Amino acid sequence: MADERRGEWGSRVGFILAAAGSAVGLGNVWKFPYITGENGGGLFVLIYLVCILAVGLPIMIAEVMLGRMSQRSPVSAFKQLAGDKSLWRGVGWIGVLAGFVILSYYSVVAGWALEYTVFSASGAIEGADPAALTQRFGQVAGNGSGAILWHVAFMAITIAIVIGGVQKGVEIAARVLMPLLLLMFIALLIFASQLEGFGEGASFVFGLHTDNFGPGSVLEALGHSFFTLSVGMGAMLTYGSYLKKDDDIVVASVAITVIDTLVALMACLVLFPITFTYGMEPAAGPSLVFQNIPIALAQLPGSTIWAVTFFLLLVFAALTSAISLLEVTASYFIDELGWSRSVAVPVTGGAIILLGIPSALAASSHTFGAGMEAAIGMNWFDLFDYVSSNWMLPLCGLGISLFAAWRVGEQARRVQFAAGSTLGKIEGLYVAWLQVLRFVVPIAIVLIMLHALKVFELLGLTGAT
């Protein structure tokens, strides 16, 4: 029985659209290209694709499944399925905490995108000089109070939509925006393919270079495969809890994964040709998309329209992702503490706004948190990103996979896998998925974590890399 207070998707594609809207976001357009640049290109991309297929997709199926079985948000889901006092609740807590941390800095980046939308609309990009546009990012991000204001503005929009509830807010936003975003990327790809640096850009993304690929790169690829698919936090679990009994989990998960991966690869194939054509640095870091796109578009006729469309779509892509992050954190208070939606959403959203302030300041100025940067090599912004993507999401994902593969009853798991699906009824596919979830996923996550902690080096098992 669907619980009135919880809501349900309005249509079969509603879930796919909303979940794909959650998956496709700044992770694809902003983060993936910049970490690909930092980790040297093709080899990183390859390992990321392996992580998506061998770890991310199997966990997504498991996560959505636990959501539909429990009809709850993460923490209550584990209570419902494992018992009120069960330690499995901890997996849900890590997820809820990750949601707070991720959205806090995610919204800062989305705020920059909002600012760039307004800046583009002013017509200032038209014919502007590349050096000036490169510097401009520093001025935007470097203006602490401005960054905070745009962060607050973005959170306010997110809060307003999430208060509207799943069906009205999330589904409608995703239904309109997802197709538009894809169209925009196709247009940009055609544009990039005409650039002189297209060949070099494409070979950066698909050639297997090993330079700049370090010991941390595998962990980064793993963490990003969770981040980009929105798994390992309970967001997909929460969205899965609004599914009907006979919706097809397997096909939906495959579709979401394919769309998400395509957008990420397209973003790289747009950004790196621009990078090489204009002699820029691939390892520019978080500023990559904000510098490259305006520089390239400035040369085009109608650059204002192009740039406004691009940044607006980026804001929308961020919005459908931010909605899912806020939905999970708010659902915790709705399901666990019985708060109403109209209280839970602004209160959690407000807390996230406060938590984001250090990131807004840190990403911007080198004076704020300079001591911290000197001590650990990361500012607040980097630290939040690193800890949440590379550690919290994989840990929570590990819990989800162990639970779904070892603890959930065979009968119930089979029913969930096969429901409403022709693909899900194929025995071999079910067995393969289960074995991957039982062995490959947990072993891969643990090994990659140990590797990143340099445990093998300490044990003298591998030489220093």
With respect to ligand TRP, which residue has the nearer C-beta, 228 or 275? 228
Q: Give CA separation, 273 vs 184, 194, 198, 444, in Å.
A: 17, 9, 4, 33
Q: How far is the CB of 415 from ligand TRP (least distance, A)?
A: 26
Residue 43 as a binder of ligand TRP (CB under 6 A): the answer is no
Q: What is the DSSP string of 294-341?
A: HHHHHTSTTHHHHHHHHHHHHHHHHHHHHHHHHHHHHHHHHHHH---H
Buried-exposed string 125-141: b where 16+ CB fall within 10 A, e elsewhere: bbebebeebbebbeebb
287's CB contacts (< 8 A; 6+ apart) are 34, 137, 138, 141
Which residues neighbour 136 within 8 Å (Cβ) at sequence distance 6 or greater?
119, 291, 294
- By CB under 6 A, name the one of 64, 170, 235, 419 that touches ligand TRP: 235
Residue 324 within binding range of ligand TRP, rule CB under 6 A: yes
Q: Which is nearer to ligand TRP, 59 or 102 (CB)?
A: 102
Amino acid at site 223: G
CB-nearer residue toward ligand TRP: 277 or 390: 390
Q: Is the CB of 369 or the CB of 399 nearer to ligand TRP? A: 399
Nearer to ligand TRP, 190 or 258 (CB): 258
Q: Closer CB to ligand TRP, residue 27 or residue 356?
A: 27
Query: Torsion-angle region of residue 377: left (phi > 0), alpha (psi -120 to 50) or beta?
Result: left
- Which string of x and - marks every residue 373-412 that binds ligand TRP (by CB under 6 A)? --------------------x-------------------
How distant, in Å, are the alpha carbons of 255, 273, 432 from that of 86? 33, 51, 29
Q: Show the tokens assigned to 4.
A: 């009135």
Number of H helices, E strands in the chain: 24, 0
27 binds ligand TRP (CB under 6 A): yes
Q: Which is nearer to ligand TRP, 324 or 364 (CB)?
A: 324
CA 66/CA 74 separation, integer angstroms: 9
Per CB under 6 A, does 71 bind ligand TRP? no
Among the listed ranges 26-34, 110-118, 241-249, 268-276, the one in contact with ligand TRP (CB under 6 A) is 26-34
Contact 445, 397 (CB under 8 A): yes
Q: Is 78 one of the binding residues for ligand TRP (CB under 6 A)?
A: no
Count Cα neighbours of 223 within 13 Å in the Cβ-side half-sphere: 21
Residue 230 in contact with ligand TRP, rule: CB under 6 A: yes
For residue 98, the minimal CB distance to ligand TRP (Å) is 7
Q: Give the nearest distance from C-beta 205 to ligand TRP in angstroms.
A: 18
Asked whether position 237 contacts ligand TRP by CB under 6 A, the answer is no
Q: How far is the CB of 27 from ligand TRP (least distance, A)?
A: 2
Identified binder of ligand TRP from the candidate list 120, 158, 321, 359, rule CB under 6 A:
321
Choosing from 228, 277, 292, 303, the residue that interacts with ligand TRP (CB under 6 A) is 228
Nearest-angstrom CA–CA distance, 223 and 217: 10
Asked if 40 touches ligand TRP (CB under 6 A), the answer is no
Give which of 303, 328, 118 is closest to 240, Cα–Cα. Answer: 328
Q: Least CB distance from residue 233 to ligand TRP, whole Å? A: 4
- Least distance in angstroms from the C-beta of 393 to ligand TRP: 6
Pick from 464, 162, 173, 109: which is nearest to 324 by CA? 162
23 binds ligand TRP (CB under 6 A): yes
Chain residues in the site for ligand TRP (CB under 6 A) = 22-23, 25-28, 102, 227-228, 230, 233, 235, 321, 324-325, 393
